[in-house]
Chain A
Amino acid sequence: MSLMLHTASERETAEAGRLLAPLLAPNDVVALTGDLGAGKTVLAKAVAAGLGVQEPVISPTFNMLLVHPGRLSLYHFDLYRLDDEAQLEDIDFYATLEAGGVSLIEWGERFPDALPPDHLAVVLTIAGDEERDIELVPHGARSEELAAAWAALAGGDLG
């Protein structure tokens, strides 16, 4: 079962991210999927702001993992540059997911078997210059609860 959000502008995409932040609990895992420019960075920055992260949320593409302190620590992964699943061990991927913060994983779909059994997949699709379709695909009970709560908040008027 999946849920669908639709945003009409970059501002609305950011607003959706801000609404997700307060719903997040320790060890929640959100996998962000979408083409370059689909809005993964916009969503990630908004979630970080909602978690009270003060420092700039720069792209994790180069470092593969950037940790930002906030209400909960934000573990911002980008698996774009990894070639095979074994390299996840090198960045301490599995232990970090369970370290008590919230994990946002960009390009996690490259290694579907490595994602934990319970995680929320968020698929961003470009529907227009600034319009985006955001599909929420929960895997596991906790993620279903999270997706339902988020959709209830963000499904209404984002403007």
Chain B
Amino acid sequence: MSASIRPMRADDLPQVLAVERASFVQPWSEGLFLDELAHADTRTWLVADSEWGIVGFGGLMQNLTDGHILDLAVRPDSRGRGVGRALVSALIERAVELGIHRMTLEVRPSNGVAQRLYEEAGFVSVGRRRGYYEDSDEDAIIMWTGQLSSAEEVGTRERLARRARASLEAFSLEDPPEERLAEGDDLILAVETSCDETAAAVMRGGRELLSSVVASQVRFHARFGGVVPEIASRKHTEAIVAVVSEALDSAGIDLADLTALAVTQGPGLVGALVVGLAYAKGLALATGLPLVGVNHLEGHIFANVLADPDVAPPLVALVVSGGHTSLVHMPSWGVYRTLGSTIDDAAGEAFDKVAKMLGLGYPGGPVLSELAKKGDPKAIRFPRALINTADYDFSLSGLKTAVLTYIRHENAAGREVDAADVAASFQAAVIDVQVAKAVRAVRECGVRTFCLAGGVAANEALRDALTAAFGPLGVLVSVPPLTFCTDNAAMIAAAAHYRLRRGELIGLDAEALPNLALG
């Protein structure tokens, strides 16, 4: 379950030629390759070999103290997994052993991926060779490294080698077994701006949280002064630079140490998502680091994985927050099936709106939950919408209207409304439906692990009700610590670790996806 770099042999040529032909408009012929292999005194040809066959190769020509990369190609099904980086890294290491001082190559201006890879490896564009590529009459960009012995190039080379090793170890064309997914010492910087919070985090190996910064946190305010208000994408723009540098600083990590970048791609507010995405893409372009796109709801589920190492698929998760109410089946790492979600209001939103009706302010969801503790949940029988339907959808708009109608009737009759009873009865109606559907989903999916995730996971009554319902069934109920219930970037980094291990990257043309679904 990995790839390795070794010298090319003549019997590799059928596979090498297939990769060459799949990669170039004017591929080299077999005769040309045989000729190259015959000149071992000045030529170094390497292949990236794996249990899926040869997935890439590259060649170097030595001209006294100059090294010229002649050809580099990666099999189409294996691109985006660091094979090219590993080959370039190995060619440079070999060049150093051969006493080469500087390296050069030509690359097509239209091949941005290759240019970024070479830049990551220390190559700099120094000029153009007119009409070099005959097929398209395209110029070639000429790139050179500095002196390979210089401190700067040594540093670049070491970072490249470190990332290359990680890529090779993780290389797979299949969904690797679950235990391997949890491994690795990759360092990921994640950015989250899907809604109100500007957040960044640095994580090692998907588990070890080195830093997690959320802009609205008190500590952050104290350091940067002022309040970071909610909602506005402008505010994300103002906060993101400081939030990211705070995350890097408190982790003691430099951008150059990172293995990958991660960002929430959706769902969320488009104006907010684009800020994080644009920033992450900019960082990816500047650093040459791979970029991982994460689904925000997937992130919430990974808040549980982060908090409790025993949480692993197969599992069912209920993601409840101000903007989401979804039941998700996760049969294995990276595979999601949304069983159902709200058809009108999200749970957190319904809490906030009922709080407003009761004069508790907005957003008053947490205040309402607090008040509910003093009330009788059986005082008023509010409707349990969709509790008996065969699907896993939720509807909360009708419940909200029922609460309003109740308050109107009581007021009209001149009776005082007991706000605590209303709060407790409303909350019970919401919880009853969520627990009933969660229990049915766990049974039907045949899983032994249930995760409660999202901002509303902080609701004690919901936690207690789920624990009480699942306890007798022997189902593990995972509830994340309060700091990971609300939006944060640590959960995005944790989810990104798994995506990175599977080689799931996004390009610099990736867009924000405000309606992104999970599975």
Of residues 124 through 151 on chain A, the ones whose CB sits less than 8 Å from some CB of chain B are 126, 129
List the A side residues contacting B403 at CB < 8 Å. 37
User: Within residues 313 to 363 of chain B, which ones have a CB less than 8 A from any CB in chain A?
Assistant: 322-324, 342-346, 348-349, 353, 356-357
Which residue of the partner chain B has the closest CB to A37? B404
Known: A59-B397, A91-B271. A37 touches B229 (CB 8 A): no
A62 within 8 A of partner (CB) = yes
Binds B, one of A24-32, A80-88, A113-121: A80-88
Q: Please, could you name 21 A-B residue pairs with CB atoms under 8 Å apart, sorted by A?
A: A37-B357, A37-B403, A41-B344, A41-B397, A56-B343, A58-B346, A62-B195, A62-B323, A62-B348, A63-B268, A64-B269, A82-B231, A83-B230, A83-B231, A87-B231, A90-B231, A90-B232, A90-B233, A91-B269, A91-B270, A92-B270
B401 on the A face (CB < 8 A): yes
| Contact present for B342 and A58 (CB under 8 Å) | yes
A152 at the interface (CB under 8 A from B): no
Given A36-B353, A58-B343, check contact A63 B323 (CB 8 Å): yes
Task: Report yes or no: A36 in contact with B349, Cβ–Cβ below 8 A.
Answer: no
Q: Which residues of B contact A129 (CB under 8 A)?
A: 405, 408
Which residues in A have some Cβ–Cβ distance to B below 8 Å? 35-37, 41, 45, 56-59, 61-67, 81-83, 86-87, 89-92, 126, 129
> How far in angstroms is the closest Cβ of chain A from B129?
44
**Which residues of chain B have C-beta atoms less than 8 A from A59's C-beta?**
344-346, 349, 397
Hey, what's the 0/1 contact readout for B378-415 against A, CB within 8 Å counting as 1? 00000000000000000001001101110010000000
Give the chain A neighbours of B400 by CB distance below 8 A: 36-37
Residue of A nearest to B323 (CB): A62
Q: How far is the CA of A61 from the CA of B345 in the complex (A)?
A: 8
Q: How far is the CA of A96 from the CA of B233 in the complex (A)?
A: 16
Residues of B with C-beta under 8 A to A58: 342-346
**Residue B234 CB within 8 A of the other chain:** yes
Closest to A92 in B: B271
B514 at interface (Cβ–Cβ under 8 A)?
A: yes
State how many residues of chain B have any CB contact under 8 Å with chain A.
34
| Partner-A contacts on B (CB < 8 A) | 195, 229-234, 267-271, 322-324, 342-346, 348-349, 353, 356-357, 397, 400-401, 403-405, 408, 514-515
A36 and chain B: residue at smallest CB distance? B353
Q: Which residues of B contact A89 (CB under 8 A)?
A: 234
- Supposing A82-B231, A91-B271, A92-B271 touch, asked if A63 and B514 sit within 8 A by C-beta, the answer is yes
- Chain B residue at smallest Cβ distance from A41: B397
Return A42 CB to nearest CB of chain B, in Å.
8
Q: Which residue of A lies closest to B402 (CB)?
A: A37
Measured CA separation A130–B515 after assembly (Å):
32
Once the chains bind, are B270 and A65 in contact (CB under 8 Å)? yes
Instruction: Report the minimum CB–CB distance from B258 to chain A (whole Å).
Output: 30
In the complex the two chains form, is B271's CB within 8 Å of A126's CB? Answer: no
Inter-chain CA distance A63–B342, complex, in Å, is 14
Closest 7 interchain pairs by CB? A62-B323, A37-B404, A37-B401, A90-B233, A59-B345, A90-B271, A56-B343
- State the Cβ distance, B398 to closest chain A Cβ, in Å: 9
Docked-complex contact A62 and B231, CB < 8 angstroms: no
Cα of A45 to Cα of B397 in the assembled complex, Å: 12
A65 neighbours in B (Cβ, 8 Å): 269-270
CA distance A6 to B47 in the complex (A): 77
Q: Is the CB of A62 within 8 A of B349?
A: yes
- Within 8 Å by CB of A63, from B269, B356, B405, lies B269
The smallest C-beta distance from B187 to any residue of chain A, in angstroms, reads 32
A83-B229, A90-B231 given; 10 more Cβ-contact pairs under 8 Å = A37-B401, A56-B343, A56-B344, A58-B343, A61-B349, A62-B195, A63-B514, A81-B230, A91-B269, A91-B270
On whether A62 and B356 interact (CB within 8 A), knowing A37-B401, A81-B231, A90-B233, the answer reads no
